[in-house]
Amino acid sequence: MFIAYEISKQLIVSLRPLVPAIQSCDRELADQLRRAAQSVLLNLAEGQKYQNGNRKKHYEIAQGSANEVKAALDAAEAWGWLETRGEERELLDRLLAVLWKLTHAGLLQKPGERARCRDRQ
């Protein structure tokens, strides 16, 4: 099971009641929110099949789209169209953390590994 993919699906489910509420005030923002949430899921699915740099590229796009979901929710909240924060914010925070790890996996090395690389030079 791919954790980021599953969290992304849960996020979409949690957004289902919010999208119509936002749409009644701003059709374009609701559409942008829907497309960004779908983009996260689709790019995670596509990135899974690659082993090269294309995997990271798709995960980075998914991370950007997840940030776009966050911004759309922030905008709707700022306009007063959403009164309370729900499960979607917790899922979004978790998803962004997982995506950060996926996009920075090559940078996360143990301190001993870095020392060995320096010793070889």
∠8-11-14 over CA atoms, to 5°? Answer: 160
CB atoms within 10 A of CB 9: 15
pLDDT at 107: 58
* Domains in the chain, CATH or no CATH each: 3-120 (1.20.1440.60)
Please state, for a pLDDT cut of 90, what percent of the chain lies above it. 74
pLDDT at 93: 97
For the segment 69-95, what is each residue's pLDDT rounded down to a tens digit? 999 999 999 999 998 889 999 999 999
Nearest Cα to Cα of residue 68 among 21, 4, 11, 108: 11
